[in-house]
Structure 1
Amino acid sequence: MLIVLLPEPLLAAGLESPPLYWWRLGREGGLLESGQDDLPALRRRYPAERLRLLAPATATSLYRVSIPVRRASAARAALPFALEDQLGQELEELHLVAGPRRADGRYVAAVTEHRCMQEWMQLVEAAGWRADAMLPQGSLHQDQTPERGLRIQPSPWPNGQSTVLVTSVDQEPVLIEQELLGFWLKQRLGQLDEDQRRVQLIGLTPEQLGIDADCEVDTAVPASLEAALLASLQPARSLNLLTGGYSSGMAAPPWRKLRPALVAAGVLLAVLIAQQGIQTVTLNKERDRLQAQIDQLFDETLPRSRRVDPVTQFRQVLEGASGQAAADGMGVLLHDALAAVAAEGSAKILQFRATPAELELELSLPSFAELEKLRSQLAASAGLSESLQGADSDGEGVTARLRIQRNPS
């Protein structure tokens, strides 16, 4: 994870890509590397690292406000009205973010200018990066809250050599210039109750700060930069400035949430492709085996034929044999039937229709007696059977239709 401290808008004015302080943290939060480079250089150096931004305290203010609601959505809607009296700018110029609820029941609110947000976004987008979150720099020192009063200690940040960190129970952490501390401290102490007007100094003395307030010098270890960086890794921090219109351009791409489903779909697709490949190989082997068997059968069945297309050649041979058998069967049936008609002498064939299985004759005979005589002759013929389909008589004789079939052997 790369943690990058964004520049102050006034300091970055006129610079296409100003140098920024950065820290690279491991999975457990340990500091691996740090330095000062511009974002394009960091992008080339760490293209696969996730990016988390810190908005400088000089451009981001933190407040605690009382909002008589419990739902987070209602708190976000009521935030502009709760902050209206504390802000010296038009609300349209400011980007307001509602944070978590503190132990005293009040909500944390972060305020910065839209102008600053737009400049920071352009800076990051120009480098081709997407940020996971943008956190106020001061919000990372919430763990430095004293039990009562104010705690003042040196700023651990590399851009804050003349800056001090002020924390208290009733307000959010503040990073303030030492030159402004005396005036600010008088006003701040006036807002506290008598029992809370206590100033604790860590790593500093009243003479260094130029203040004459009643102070207690503590020998505790000042706030460390490593602790603040570790706090920036919290996965569920709700005080994220990338909300509203700034969430789509800077947040993680939408497909990242679908990554498990996409991986599962990719695995399934790979399995299907592998299965299809195995089936194709199996079918090709089966085809080659059947082709070899067909060739072997052709060579054994038609040894004198030249093998070109065995399947087509087999089909032609079978059709030729079937046609020859059909022609032979029809010829025998015609011969036997016509021989019986010719033996009658007086019968004349008007028309006939023949198939390999049967023969239909339309005959003209002098009388019904000759018709019955012909039927008797056909019935007496070996292997033939006849049936009368119809008969008509007129002044010239009898017209009859006979169906002649070969008896099954």
Structure 2
Amino acid sequence: MSYRLYARPVPPFADLTTMPEAQLFNWVLLDASGEAQARGTEDLRTDIERTLGQNALEHVRLIGLIPGDEALFCFASIPAKQERYIRQALPFAVEEQLAQDVESMHLALGPRGPSGFQVAAIDHQRMGLWAALFQGWEHARLEAIYPDAGLLPVNEQDWSICLDGSSALLASQRGEWLKMHVDNLAIFSQTLALPPEEEVVAEVRVAIFGTEQALREHEGLIAGMKASGRLTIGQQPLELMPLELLAHSHHSHYCRPVNLCQGPWSLQREGNSPLRQWRPAIAVAALWLVLQLGIEAGLGFYHQDRAEELNAQAMSIYREAFPQDTRTHAGNVRNVLRGELRVAQQQGPTADFLSLMKQTGQQYSALPGRNQVQFNSINYSRSRGELVVDLRADDYNKLSALRTGLNQRGLEANIGSVVNEPSGARGRLTISGG
């Protein structure tokens, strides 16, 4: 079963340069269904690793959450579609939104939205320290590092706010995130309550998450936010720590955070490949493929031998029927026989004068209104096997009916030299075959 371990450093933060092992974490372990199987507060990394080992868990996917104010959110409007060109243009697209030199910032590219690409910007040095903090854990491999506020669930709300001690995490439906001191929420709510110039009346839907104790402590703040008249506040009590809200939101895809593990900190390198845990399955699949190809090849050789035997038998029968034909072989015998049959069919069977006259007479006897049909002359060509009859009738339909009847008897009958006269029609009926 696949497990995910969400680990979030607890302030005050240890010196990540000299004593990263002293850092404490809040953590929660989710199974593949999203159920929390274990959790802890203010534990050392060694304590978490010991818990994983005691439960015989290996290759747990580690999700590291860093403070939301460590990474700056910004939008990048880039018209390019190929990722290579997008990343080349990224520094120029966000340079004016950053307070420090863009070359000193690590830029992580997120999904594209209506306002452009979501981008997370963090100082190179700080990113290196956070990456080192989450790498090399026993029984777990790092999968991603996210700013914690980026994992807040934003469904039908315009903004989500999570009360987290003295801090507040915020995320918008556009993908923005930020972290601020909880006392600054009053000022921020006033900004939200100001409608844009193009809107006359607009409602801003805000969901506030927090434990029941946190919601009681900040009742006055929440009441002040409601008093603006433009903010619609919905309170969502939490039974557990905010980290579990973030983990559940990420597992259920209620958010679209930006993974900071890109570029120099990409995890798609040898030894960190997400395919590593699937290597045994890949090896079994490769072995099965080799065996399957061997079976298919063996069947191919068997059927090839059978085909050669059948070809030899067919040519033996053909040689008995056509001993003087030396040009035909197993590869073209089918086409040769088809050609001979086609020629024979086109030539058709021949008939003598009496046979053709008999067939013509029978069709004439069965012809409705035959008294109106007259035979002027009859000619027979033995070399062509054709009977030519000059006919006259009160209308052409009777000539056509006579021809149709002969054709239905298996003969080849055609009418030519048709002349329409006031008294009827006359023509030449040519009959062959039989």
Instruction: Output the TM-score relative to the length of structure 2.
Output: 0.51
- Offset of residue 247 of structure 1: 1.6
Could you tell me which residue of structure 2 aligns to residue 110 of structure 1?
A: 120
C-alpha change, 1:64 and 1:120, in structure 2 (3 Å) is: same
Q: In the alignment, is the contact (CA less than 8 A) between 1:135 and 1:232 conserved in 2?
A: no
In 1, the alpha carbon distance for the partners of 2:244 and 2:10 equals 22
Whether 1:137 aligns to 2:148 is: yes
**Residue equivalent to 1:12:** 14
* Counterpart residue identity of residue 51, structure 1: L
Unaligned stretches of 5+ residues in structure 2: 210-214, 291-434
Query: Distance in 1 between the 2:203 and 2:95 partners?
Result: 27
> Does 2:222 match 1:214?
no
CA gap 1:32/1:180 in 2 versus in 1, 3 angstroms = same
Q: Does 1:154 align with 2:162?
A: yes
| SS of aligned partner of 2:143 | strand
Deviation at 1:182, TM superposition (A): 3.7
Which is higher, the Rg of structure 1 or of structure 2?
1
Using a 3 Å threshold, how does the CA distance of structure 1 residues 154 and 138 change in structure 2: closer, same or farther? closer
Q: Does 1:28 align with 2:36?
A: no
How many angstroms does 1:185 deviate by? Answer: 4.4
Quote the Cα distance in structure 1 between the aligned partners of 2:245 and 2:10. 23
Counterpart in the other structure of 2:377: none
> Given the superposition, is the C-alpha separation of residues 246 and 27 from structure 1 closer, same or farther in structure 2, using an over 3 Å criterion?
same
Q: Distance in 1 between matches of 2:243 and 2:166?
A: 16
Q: Is the 8 A contact 2:68 2:169 kept in 1?
A: no
Whole-angstrom distance in 2 between the partners of 1:210 and 1:131: 41
Note the aligned Cα RMSD (angstroms). Answer: 3.8
Q: Structure 1 residues 233, 169: CA separation in 2 closer, same or farther (over 3 Å shift)?
A: closer
Q: Is the 8 A contact 1:242 1:251 kept in 2?
A: no
Structure 1 distance, partners of 2:10, 2:168, is 17
246, 249, 260: which is aligned to 2:281? 260
How many residues are treated as equivalent by the alignment?
A: 262
* Match in the other structure for 1:90: 101
TM-score, with normalisation over the residues of structure 1?
0.53
Identical columns (%):
24
Pick one of 172, 177, 195 that aligns with 1:173.
Answer: 177
Alignment of 1:185-224 (within 5 A): 185-186=189-190, 192-193=196-197, 194=199, 195-196=201-202, 198=204, 200=206, 202=208, 207-208=220-221, 214-215=228-229, 216=231, 218-221=233-236
| Partners of 2:154 and 2:166 in 1: CA distance | 22
Counterpart AA for 1:84: E
State the Cα distance separating 1:30 from its structure 2 match. 0.9
Once the two structures are superposed, what CA deviation does each residue of 1:81-113 show, in whole Å capped at 9, x if it has no partner?
1211111011122111111122x2521111222
Question: 1:166/1:260 Cα in 2 relative to 1: closer, same or farther (>3 Å)?
Answer: same
- Contact kept in structure 1, 2:151 and 2:257, CA below 8 Å: no
Aligned-partner Cα distance in 2 for 1:252–1:153: 35
Task: Tell me which amino acid in the other structure corresponds to 2:135.
Answer: E
Q: Which runs of 5+ in 1 are unaligned?
A: 270-409
Distance 1:164 1:2 in 2: 25
Which sits farther off after the overlay, 176-185 or 227-236?
A: 227-236
Q: Secondary structure of the equivalent of 2:100?
A: coil
- Once residues 246 and 131 of structure 1 are traced to their aligned partners in structure 2, the CA distance between those partners, rounded to angstroms, is 11
**C-alpha distance in structure 1 between counterparts of 2:257 and 2:20, whole Å:** 31
Match of residue 229 from structure 1: 247
Task: Return closer, same or farther for 1:69/1:260 CA change in 2, 3 Å cut-off.
Answer: same
Residue 90 of structure 2 corresponds to residue 79 of structure 1: yes
Match of 1:405 in 2: none
